[in-house]
Structure 1
């Protein structure tokens, strides 16, 4: 999601005179600015997973090179011995044999720095730390970051109820942006589950920042200005509810719809989203103008409903998708339909030709966002009639 993340960050940067968005890299986007710009990104980014503050970077050959880099940094400027600590390490093509040992050496460098400067050291807490330090290794270089976010940003602070396999909030936001949906456009999720796509869209309609109801690691940093942070949050303008609903959801499960209603309330959405208990293949357009259908149907790898069977061999699934495809062609002319799934056979089962497919990952699962453009009338091109003159 690097491309859509960069687009989103440029929109956020319009509210800052110092935040600059630079190049995208595999797995992220480089930015620069004041520390308060990091607060702004944490508060407003729907797509980012974390906002990492780069502390140091150098080349390395051995674990001791990484230790020396860690022990040289003035960690005491950022947090104190009273704060608990966690170290996370990710690598691409690193020649080092033991990542656990490398992580340990980063930790040793940090605590040895505190011992030399203060005579004491922070404690380690891997479950709920105050401060997280992230290390990244490629084949030649190591970079050390302070994690300004803490808990991953997809944890918005409102979710209390989920289904068997809820879509991550930042992934739902990325799907919405990739689909081209914007507030004011009709949106329907006919397999809404616990409502993640609907809630992300509804918060966008009302201008509710994704980080409005949660806390962040930067609040534990030294010299954190609570008043300035509160002023940043107070500057948020919540849009009044729309006069008419343009976001709609349905699901076959009444329990899931009740869960969606509860989650909408917890997420601060103040307008009603019409929800209907109905099978997806029975849906009808909720408004009289074209819009976007965006949905994440259950698939075997995600919740194990189909065990180890491939979707193409599942007769019930084949019947369902065939019926859904017929419904889309018959009832939704001029709509754009987006299906997010790990089952690459979905277009064939829907009997629709995708106009675009965008690769995504849902955790470790490789997925696709398929786009289908519904046309008015039959999807099949009519064959011209042929005539043959015969001599009588």
Structure 2
């Protein structure tokens, strides 16, 4: 059994832990912005392929005391890097966290890189090049107070970049957060889904992938572990083959998205085509005032602007009031969810909340508000 660590957005640790357990992870233990777990190599591949919630899967190599740059350099050099990296392969280093002496992540990453390539020069007379965009080996260093954890990043790029969405609207929701919101709303594909402010389509697309049991990693061309010396291509192909057979042939209930912006809807439709959902999600151009329920009951989820990034909070008050009025008058029998980072705007909705769930959208403290519409 190998030890792994999944990084996750703040506040989503319990949801990520549940997802990992469903995927077969053992010894699951959430902590701040991450989840420890254990499993075999197949689990590592499966989590990268199937996780909808987490950002990266790290494989810890060693933990050590680290108070300054000199100590960091010495400790990194103690590791036998030839087991993981040849001079012909490229590398990159990501750093998170800090302490009193190591308080600039770029400088800290430079110390790690220097320690590795200096070891290579001494052993082989040549060294790996740095490739920040597409390295063969991506190394992660996390510093907390005077402790450091050195890990390999098995995911490569963040898993929220599914690979299906080259087109994004203004201030898009990360796919991982959209998937977490669907979990919080207990969406399972059995009821109609509608996002009346869908933008480039993240919520409807993630709803579609979930409803059809499509592994989000199927759209990615590369994962970090594919360049590792222990990469088992046959095992990976077996796990991908299982995933390709696991998707459902059709939606149990329809999925809808609408937006006032016709150009951003073109992006949404392109994104849907890219992940094979072009015929499954029904997008339409509509102002909020003119929307109608597409079914007698269902789940409505939206992420309206809340003044932090888009629009001005004062001007948005009337919009929130309109949103509440439309939902109350036209969507009887539905359950609505609104993600907002502005408590004053939330009050303007004018509906009684059935539940308030804290969640972070990046660094913005938000609340997912649930409304039972009768």
Q: Is the 8 A contact 1:79 1:220 kept in 2?
A: no
1:296 and 1:156 map into 2 onto residues whose CA distance is 20
Q: Kindly tell me: are residues 287 and 241 of structure 1, through their superposed partners in 2, closer, same or farther at Cα, counting changes over 3 Å?
A: farther
Q: Find the counterpart in structure 2 of residue 229 from structure 1.
A: 236
Q: Report the alpha carbon displacement of residue 53 of structure 1 after superposing the two structures with TM.
A: 0.6
- Which whole-Å deviations, capped at 9, do the CAs of 1:231-269 have from their partners, x for residues lacking one? 110111243443664211111122222221211110122
Q: Find the counterpart in structure 2 of residue 2 from structure 1.
A: 13
SS at match of 1:372: strand
1:118 and 1:195 map into 2 onto residues whose CA distance is 50
Q: Is the 8 A contact 2:269 2:278 kept in 1?
A: no
Q: Find the counterpart in structure 2 of residue 150 from structure 1.
A: 156
Q: Please list, as runs of the form range in 1=range in 2, the aligned pairs for 1:126-145 lying within 5 A after superposition.
A: 126-145=132-151
> Which structure 1 segments of 5+ residues have no match?
14-18, 377-392
Moved over 4 A (4+): none
Q: Kindly tell me: are residues 243 and 221 of structure 1, through their superposed partners in 2, closer, same or farther at Cα, counting changes over 3 Å?
A: closer
Q: In structure 2, which of residues 82, 94, 103 is the aligned counterpart of residue 76 of structure 1?
A: 82
1:203 and 1:101 map into 2 onto residues whose CA distance is 40
Q: In structure 2, which of residues 195, 199, 205 is the aligned counterpart of residue 189 of structure 1?
A: 195
Q: Is the 8 A contact 1:245 1:272 kept in 2?
A: no
- Which whole-Å deviations, capped at 9, do the CAs of 1:110-162 have from their partners, x for residues lacking one? 22232333332111122332321111111131100100111111111111211
Q: Please list, as runs of the form range in 1=range in 2, the aligned pairs for 1:1-392 lying within 5 A after superposition.
A: 1-13=12-24, 19-91=25-97, 94-99=99-104, 100-214=106-220, 215-236=222-243, 237-242=245-250, 245-269=253-277, 271-288=279-296, 290-303=297-310, 305-306=311-312, 311=313, 313-314=314-315, 317-374=316-373, 376=374
Q: Kindly tell me: are residues 43 and 370 of structure 1, through their superposed partners in 2, closer, same or farther at Cα, counting changes over 3 Å?
A: same
Q: Kindly tell me: are residues 43 and 197 of structure 1, through their superposed partners in 2, closer, same or farther at Cα, counting changes over 3 Å?
A: same
Q: Kindly tell me: are residues 22 and 355 of structure 1, through their superposed partners in 2, closer, same or farther at Cα, counting changes over 3 Å?
A: same
Q: Is the 8 A contact 1:192 1:250 kept in 2?
A: yes
Q: Report the alpha carbon displacement of residue 192 of structure 1 after superposing the two structures with TM.
A: 0.6
SS at match of 1:235: helix
Q: Report the alpha carbon displacement of residue 209 of structure 1 after superposing the two structures with TM.
A: 0.7
Q: Is the 8 A contact 1:189 1:295 kept in 2?
A: yes
1:335 and 1:193 map into 2 onto residues whose CA distance is 21
Q: Is the 8 A contact 1:84 1:125 kept in 2?
A: yes
Q: Report the alpha carbon displacement of residue 220 of structure 1 after superposing the two structures with TM.
A: 0.8
> Which structure 2 segments of 5+ residues have no match?
1-11
Q: CA RMSD in A?
A: 1.9
1:32 and 1:264 map into 2 onto residues whose CA distance is 34
1:201 and 1:166 map into 2 onto residues whose CA distance is 16
Indicate the structure with greater strand content: 2
2:102 and 2:167 map into 1 onto residues whose CA distance is 41
- Which whole-Å deviations, capped at 9, do the CAs of 1:37-94 have from their partners, x for residues lacking one? 21111100011111111011022333322222211222221232222211111115x2
2:150 and 2:267 map into 1 onto residues whose CA distance is 40
Task: Give the alignment's TM-score, normalised by structure 1.
Answer: 0.86
1:240 and 1:81 map into 2 onto residues whose CA distance is 45
Query: How many residues were matched structurally?
Result: 360
1:239 and 1:106 map into 2 onto residues whose CA distance is 42
Larger Rg: 1 or 2? 1
Q: Report the alpha carbon displacement of residue 9 of structure 1 after superposing the two structures with TM.
A: 0.9
2:194 and 2:276 map into 1 onto residues whose CA distance is 20
1:222 and 1:71 map into 2 onto residues whose CA distance is 20
1:262 and 1:247 map into 2 onto residues whose CA distance is 16
- Which whole-Å deviations, capped at 9, do the CAs of 1:203-249 have from their partners, x for residues lacking one? 11222111102111110111322222111101112434436642111
Q: Find the counterpart in structure 2 of residue 16 from structure 1.
A: none
Task: Give the alignment's TM-score, normalised by structure 2.
Answer: 0.90
Q: Is the 8 A contact 2:60 2:150 kept in 1?
A: yes
Please say which of residues 73-82 and 156-165 is displaced more in the overlay. Answer: 73-82
